Amino acid sequence: MKPKEIQKLCFLVNPKAGKQRSEALVREIKDLLGQKNIDFHFFNSDKEGSISEFIQTENLMDFDGLCVLGGDGTINEAINGLMTSGQSQSIPLGIIPIGSGNAFAETLGELDPIKALSNILSGTTSLIDVFKIDEREKTFFAINIIGWGMAAEVNILAEKLRWMGGIRYSVASLITVMRMKQKHLKANFGNSNIEGKACFFWR
């Protein structure tokens, strides 16, 4: 899409991401933005759900973009906040990967935080697909993958092993495989229905 001149950005920071690397990176980002005369606002997450809540309750139209400093979990929280706030079509979302899991940033082709910021400052944007998941009375959104069964259990266990860093996903996968049992799956994908016993579903 046509590049947009960047004048003011809002940064959504997960202070615990990537072994707490965010503090030093924030200082570096502020210096770079100051050199380019770009205004900024930093919001630090203090608990799970606070980024989503911030997006839903704040008027973000004064900003030229939102920038997530974190990993896949922080990005997911921001996406759900944007999609439920009604502002998803109005403001771009940039990703500065500093998490222990950066799968989505890897698909975009840039894992270096400062280079990712440079890409954001270029003002170039792209459209992406968003999954919408309706589960009983709740609705969720996702941009990378959706998983059920073992795929979800791995992430749940990995969250408890956060102290291990990036290797926690491999450890969680091994533990989950050893103890996983089939569960009943019933899902609807537009015109397709899936129902039966399965260990996991991944899409």
pLDDT at res. 19: 64
List strand residue ranges (DSSP E) for the chain, in order.
8-13, 39-44, 65-70, 93-97, 131-135, 138-142, 147-149, 183-189, 192-198, 200-202
pLDDT at res. 80: 94
pLDDT at res. 202: 67
* R_g (Cα) of the chain, nearest Å: 18
pLDDT at res. 55: 93
Determine the residue type at 35.
Q
Domains of the chain: 8-132 (3.40.50.10330), 146-202 (no CATH)
pLDDT at res. 28: 93
**Average pLDDT along the chain, 203 residues, taken 10 residues at a time:** 82 82 87 94 91 91 93 92 83 91 89 94 90 85 82 82 82 87 79 79 69
Q: How many CA atoms lie within 13 A of 10 on its CB side?
A: 20
pLDDT at res. 97: 94
